[in-house]
Amino acid sequence: MKATGHTPGPWSYSEPGAIGKDTYSIYAWGPLAYTAGPSDYGDSAEANARLIALAPELLEAIAVAGRIVGQLQDRQFATKSERIYALSRASDALGPIYFKATGQPLKWWEYEATARLEDYQQRNLEAKGESD
């Protein structure tokens, strides 16, 4: 085991039927956990099993991104291009894990653009005296 105390990855999951007809199995070189299947959680059951199986990779990606953010906070990158490169490394660490968990690419720029648009719309409403 690593210093984290958990079973090292990679972990995987099996379709229902390997253990029980309605149970997903999470395993490394042997069983680690069992999750409820479709009769309990519907379409979310497989997504839950997939997310649990990604736990070691998620932990590592968070550690990589956290180190990069810490370096950015400590201003260890002198130029804008160095900062952009550091952020792209963080995105490279998180993107594949996000895709494995959701089946969708991580599009951080969409979240930023949406937040800016919502902020802009809220400021306009406040200026007109129409805010909540």
The tens digit of pLDDT for each residue in 66-107 reads 888 787 777 777 787 887 888 888 888 888 888 888 877 776
Q: Is the pLDDT of residue 129 over 80?
A: no
Q: Is the pLDDT of residue 41 over 60?
A: yes
Q: Is the pLDDT of residue 117 over 70?
A: no
The mean per-residue pLDDT over the stretch 37-45 comes to 79
Q: If you average pLDDT over each of 39-43, 64-68, 72-76, 122-126, which comes out highest?
A: 64-68
pLDDT number for residue 1: 38
HEC secondary structure over 18-86: CCECCEEEEECCCEEEEEECHHHHCCHHHHHHHHHHCHHHHHHHHHHHHHHHHHHHCCCCCCHHHHHHH
Size of the chain, expressed as the number of residues it contains: 132
Rounded percentage of the chain residues whose pLDDT exceeds 70: 80
Q: Rounded to two decimals, what is the model's pTM? A: 0.62
